[in-house]
Structure 1
Amino acid sequence: MTPFLKKVTLFSSGGPFLDGYVLAIIGVAIDQMVRNDELALDGGWISAISAAALVGLFLGTSIGGYITDRIGRKRMFLIDVVAILLLSLGTAFVTTPLMLVVMRFGIGLVIGADYPIATSMVAEFTPRRYRAISMGFIAAIWYVGANAAYIVGYLLADVDGGWRWMLGSAVVPCLVILIGRWGIPESPRWLASKNRIAEAEAILRQMFGAHVELEPGPSTKTRYRALFEPRNLSKVVFVGTIWLCQAVPMFAIYTFGPRIMAAFGLSEGRLSVLGEVLIGTFFMIGCIPAMFWANSMGRRRLLIGSFAIMTLALAVLGALPVAGTWVVIVCFAVYAFFSGGPGNLQWLYPNELFPTDIRASAVGAAMALSRIGTVVAMYVLPGFLSTHGTRATMVAGAVISAVGLLVAIPLAPETRGLTLGESSQLRLGRREPAGDQHPSPARRAPAGLR
């Protein structure tokens, strides 16, 4: 894991960092806008501003991956960060709610596009023995971004016009990410898939040395409709389902946020923002051991075991007539800790299960599928909670998590130890690559590309 490869992982994680940052900062900013009667926001505008970035994320992931597979990783790697920077700067100067909705939609669009770009770069550069760790790092960085936003919000909560500084503050990490990404070359695997062998070999020699070889393979034209072929569509649905079954109950467990904050004395005023940092930290910590478990116990066992424990934690909260504070905290901590398994694998699996020519497209499609459920949950959950109560909400979360478990048991493949060329040939539920699929053209290489 050379310094160059660490740089690729670090700055590729900038997209998830910005996703966590911009989704978290808007909540703190809106609170101040409402208190100070800025932009004359009513309930409708608040909902529209809150949802705009999520809608943009859905569209961005849907089309961003395909564009990345067509024109290359490096070009999109830089374009999207510049776009996020300019749009974030623009949000600091809005004068109407509509302007803010449009800006937030645009930010969501380009951040959504960054996910398939960045994860493809990491998967295609990282040695296979470190691939799970690198993807786990990307998953954990989302919570780092959210926590950073809450801290910035806490510091600016009592500043006059602080919401403008909050929204514009994303410019700073954008600049850092842009500088870090500038010298990262195009993915040799992508170049090889487009029959640009000489360029791919030159990058390999530059990055890894003269001993690196690029095994010849067929060049492949990116076709988005290839995602709808049975062998690929089933994988997209599988990844999207486990993604959704991890994300939707997470919103349910967040309903216990106020009680957890109160237990630590973080339920009032500015301190409630620090309570959000505490919640995000729980989930971030869960990503760390999962980075290593994906290699030690394997992807399949990690996914099945994590969903089983997460389902149990939510079921306990739903079954107890009255859950004491410490029971709530323990169940929450258990759920958050083991959510790191599916949280990491939802990034790792799509990058391992699809060939280079549609890898980014597949990541985007799976993420878009999961976002549909996430957006629906955000609107359904508050009404369901008020109508049926907390216990029923936890039971519903346990049922959704159980669906993830039931899908994982027969379908989750084991990709541990395989090259990207080998793992992209796997059928769901199998350990051995299927022989009827073409291997990825850029397989034979030193550890750097395996």
Structure 2
Amino acid sequence: MSTAIIDDAPFGRFHKKMFLLTSGGQFIDGYLLSIIGVVVLGMSKDLGMTASEEGLVGAAALVGLFIGGLIFGRLTDRIGRQLLFTLHFIAIAVASIASTFVTDPTQVVLLRVVIGIALGADYAIGSSLLSEWLPRTQRGRVMGMLIMAWFVGATAAYLVGYALISLLGDEAWRWALGSAAVPAIIFTLARIGTPESPRWLINRGRADEAHAVLRRVYGDAATPEAIGELASDEQARGIGVFDVFRGDYLKRMVFVCLFWLLQIVPLFAIYSFGPTILEAFKLSGGNASIIGSALISLLFLLGCVPALRLIETRGRRPLVVWSFALMTVPLAVLGFAPSAPVGVVLVCFCAYALFSGGPSILEFIYPTELFPTEIRATAVGIGTAVSRVGAAIGTYLLPIGLDRIGVGATMLIMAAITLVGFVVSAAMAPETRGRRLVDVSGGAAVPQPAETTRAS
């Protein structure tokens, strides 16, 4: 059985450790991108920010994610996963501490861009490294769980922000932005000594190093025969960066970019300005909107739980198609009935959060499964970059939209974006459940939508 040493290995302590280390990047990402929504009102008052400047602050990290994904995705494929797995967290820690001393909006924007670049790097580095270590029976579930760390980080941001505002008032925003340095430092230290991906090592002709790494992780199971099987699967095939934009890989790249972008634009806008949106629906009252956002964040987390089961029982394709369809409904209700009773508004936000679990967990599954080792991190980086362009535009325009066209029209635009996501997924989403990474990423054809629709 080819590549049994990785694809058919039992899921053990090492895999759990790798997941926890990788999830640290998503925790910090969720924390940093959500904390800005909690403190933007106090920051705006203290720094005298306009609505446009608020949008720039919210979008700045997303612009950085675009840059970081493009640059570090390709760099990760060239020089390896492990070397970069630690270094970028140092930049996050330094920029977070510097955020406590800013004196004008421009400084905040620049620091948020730096933070975003580091976060974009982590998307490509962490997800590629983790996916290349996981057994195939657990790959979808474990990769999907990464997004849960994002929601945990987002929830933590709301709770920390609420606590700091309650204690310190409007000045709390400085401490809240600086608080991200704590988990960044912790995960920097924890990631030291992480092993390199043996798939990448073999792909680069470094079979002896791959053997040493596998012996370190799997012991006697790392036999010469097992290494030979892995080498046969992961030998360099002359695939280069430009192959991402050719043939079947181009089709996969288009799908990944579109589904990720169309899912993330409304989600990031809601997350970045959750308190502001709830205030527009007359759900303010002191810090009540922050607590409401924390509860919505928890529901986003809970929405991932059934999706993690369905990803392995029903498959990737039906999950992404039906999730987009169901996500459209509550956004449309909010758009057509912006003056609905408080209970209706909360139910709609909760329903959207729960239904979004499917596309959310697939953010890390599809990009890592559909591309081979030579270009896996590059593809993740491109997907991250494209999705963040849309997210940055949406996040920038959301406060302006609330101010100029109202909350109803803004929600209808989000519903339309989500509906397009349903159409794209129904037309293009492949099925990759239960297959070896080498097969699904290019060693064998991926089932086309029509085939997977009949199977589902």
TM-score of the pair, normalised by structure 2: 0.86
The equivalences for 1:42-441 within 5 A come to 42-43=50-51, 45-157=53-165, 158-159=167-168, 161-212=171-222, 213-214=226-227, 215=229, 216-217=231-232, 218-220=235-237, 223-250=240-267, 267-319=284-336, 323-386=340-403, 388-425=405-442, 426-427=445-446, 429=448
Per mean C-alpha deviation after superposition, the further-off stretch among 157-166 and 186-195 is 157-166
Instruction: State the Cα deviation string for residues 41-88 of structure 1 (Å, max 9, x = none).
Output: 455544433332121111111111111111111111011112212222
Give per-residue Cα distances to partners, 1:344-389, cap 9 Å, x unaligned.
Answer: 1121001000001110110110121111211222233444445554
Pair 238,428 (structure 1): closer, same or farther in 2 beyond 3 Å: farther
Greater percentage in helix: 2
Q: Deviations over 1:154-191 (max 9, x none)?
A: 22224274333222211210122122211320011111
Q: Is the 8 A contact 2:296 2:349 kept in 1?
A: no
CA deviation after TM superposition for structure 1 residue 415, in Å: 0.5
Q: Which moved more, 1:315-324 or 1:11-20?
A: 315-324
1:135 to partner: Cα distance: 1.7
Q: Distance in 1 between matches of 2:439 and 2:33?
A: 36
Partner of 2:7: none
State the AA in 2 paired with 1:149: A
Tell me the equivalent position of 2:34.
Answer: 24
Whole-Å Cα distance in 2 between the matches of residues 358 and 174 of structure 1? 27
1:108 alignment partner AA? G
Q: Percent identity between the aligned chains?
A: 45
Contact 1:62 1:368 in 2 (8 A): yes
Instruction: State whether residues 87 and 107 of structure 1, in contact with CA within 8 Å, keep that contact through their aligned partners in structure 2.
Output: yes
How far off is 1:29 after superposition? 3.5
> Any gaps of 5 or more consecutive residues in structure 2?
1-10
Q: TM-score, normalised by structure 1?
A: 0.87
1:6 aligns with 2:16: yes
Q: CA contact under 8 A between 2:269 and 2:391: conserved in structure 1? A: no
C-alpha contact (below 8 Å) 1:194/1:220 kept by paired residues? no
Residues 248, 27 of structure 1: CA spacing in aligned structure 2 closer, same or farther, 3 A cutoff?
closer
* In structure 2, C-alpha distance between the alignment counterparts of 1:427 and 1:348, rounded to whole Å: 14
SS in 2 for 1:186: coil
Cα separation, 1, equivalents of 2:90 and 2:287 = 32
Q: What is residue 33 of structure 1 aligned with on the other side?
A: 43
User: 2:344, 2:51 → 1: CA distance?
Assistant: 35
Distance 1:297 1:384, change over 3 A: same
CA distance in 1, matches of 2:332, 2:150: 27
Secondary structure of the residue aligned to 2:221 is coil
- In the superposition, relative to structure 1, how do residues 141 and 182 fare at CA in structure 2: closer, same or farther (>3 Å)? same
Equivalent position amino acid for 1:159 in 2: L
The aligned amino acid for 1:429 is Q
Is the contact between residue 285 and residue 337 of structure 1 (CA under 8 Å) also seen in structure 2? yes
Q: Which segment is superposed worse, 362-371 or 330-339?
A: 330-339
Separation in structure 2 between the aligned mates of residue 249 and residue 99 of structure 1, nearest angstrom: 27
> Deviation at 1:431?
9.1
Q: Which letter does structure 2 place at the counterpart of 1:236?
A: M
Question: Which digits, 9 at most, give the CA deviation of each residue in 1:370-428, with x for residues without a partner?
Answer: 11211222233444445554444333333222222222223211111101101112347
Change (3 A) 1:93 1:269: same
Residue 221 to residue 182, structure 1, CA distance change in 2 (3 Å): farther
CA distance in structure 2 between the partners assigned to 1:259 and 1:187 by the alignment: 43
RMSD: 2.7
Q: 1:428 to 1:418 in 2, by over 3 A?
A: closer
Provide the rounded CA distance (Å) in 2 between the counterparts of 1:209 and 1:133: 25
CA–CA distance in 2 between the matches of 1:385 and 1:84?
31
1:132·1:292 contact (CA, 8 Å) conserved in 2? no
Conserved? CA contact 1:136–1:288, under 8 Å: no
Query: Given that residues 70 and 222 in structure 1 are in contact (C-alpha distance below 8 angstroms), is that contact kept between their aligned partners in structure 2?
Result: no
1:311 and 1:398 in contact (8 A); partners too: yes
Q: What secondary structure, in the 3-state scheme, does the structure 2 residue paired with 1:422 have?
A: helix
- Identify if the C-alpha distance between structure 1 residues 273 and 314 changes in structure 2 by more than 3 Å, giving closer, same or farther: closer
After superposition, the Cα gap between the structure-2 partners of 1:165 and 1:383, relative to the gap in structure 1 and judged at 3 Å, is: closer
- In the superposition, relative to structure 1, how do residues 6 and 388 fare at CA in structure 2: closer, same or farther (>3 Å)? same
Greater mean deviation of Cα atoms: 137-146 or 390-399:
390-399
Distance 1:164 1:387 in 2: 29
**Residues 264-289 of structure 1, C-alpha deviations (whole Å, 9 max, x = no match):** x9722233322221121111111122
Contact 1:78 1:178 in 2 (8 A): yes
